Amino acid sequence: GGGVGRLSRILNASFGKSVERVTARGGEVFHFAGDSLLAWWPADATSLVQATGSAARCALDLQAIKRTDPEFTPELHIGVGAGDLWAARVGGGEHRWELLLQGQAVRQAGRAETIARTGEIVCSPRALELLRPGVRTGADKEEGFCLLEDVDSAPSPAAPLAEHPTHTRRYLVRVVRQRRDSADHSWSAELRRLCTVFVLIHDLNERTPNALERHQAVMSVLQDTFRGASVDKMAMEDKG
């Protein structure tokens, strides 16, 4: 069939192949937002070079899908950042929790992605610094951001993280939990009439004094205000 069913098949196939490339390089998809995804590679001070190399190689793998798989239709533009990451778990209303990722790594990747054109990979200045000397770059874009053309082969990926269904369930929106708990595990596409609310919160990030407490307070208010609805996610806006 066509229409929304075809769109669903395209998105499922595209996201599935993208997730496979991310996990094959030792990364983890943090969330999907519309037609985009955010992935991260855990690292500490001694392994950030390796993690950045794996992320850059994954970006090249993702762009290569288009050249080798005619069924992969999306046109990608990708940003790579590296640096400190702030992670938190907030919420708890109706046993629903939300994971947050913020910090310089997310800001850099978001900025690089907005600079990249279709088919391009753009790295932040910090990511390029960590990739050198084993990186080949293209044209400079702006403010030290640069096109990525190739990197040395990354080390073997880390072992994939084990899934814990009971813990994972706490982070799923209601409609997904209901489908997952039902006897019918098939997935279908449908069009629904609904109301969507976007809330833009100013001056709230990981650098805010008492950041965790303030994020928790905001999420608690949102979950209480929209009780009976699904609070989908709290995410950093593209410009940080």
The pLDDT tens digits for 188-227 are: 666 778 888 989 898 888 988 999 999 999 999 999 998 8
Which has the higher per-residue pLDDT, 231 or 172? 231
Instruction: Report phi then psi at 190, rounded to 5.
Output: -155, 160
Is the model's pLDDT at 141 over the cut of 70?
A: yes
The pLDDT assigned to 164 comes to: 57
Question: Does residue 114 have a pLDDT over 80?
Answer: yes
Does the pLDDT of residue 90 top 60, yes or no? yes
pLDDT of residue 25: 93
In this prediction, residue 219 carries a pLDDT of: 92
More confident residue, 122 or 70: 122
d(CA 90, CA 216) in angstroms, rounded, equals: 5
Average pLDDT over residues 158-165: 56
Yes or no: say if 99 and 29 are a contact pair by the CB < 8 Å rule.
no
Question: The pTM is what?
Answer: 0.82
**Mean pLDDT value of segment 94-102:** 86
CB 124, CB 113: distance < 8 Å:
no
Q: Are 157 and 54 in contact (CB under 8 A)?
A: yes
- Which pLDDT score is estimated for 160? 55
Q: List the beta bridge partners of residue 177.
A: none
Residue of higher predicted confidence among 97 and 175:
97
Residues 40-82 pLDDT 10s: 998 987 899 999 999 999 999 999 998 888 777 778 999 999 9
Residues 144-170, mean pLDDT to the nearest whole number: 72
Q: Where are the alpha helices (DSSP H) in 69-90?
A: none
Question: What confidence score (pLDDT) does residue 14 get?
Answer: 82
Asked whether residue 238 carries a pLDDT value surpassing 90, the answer given is: no
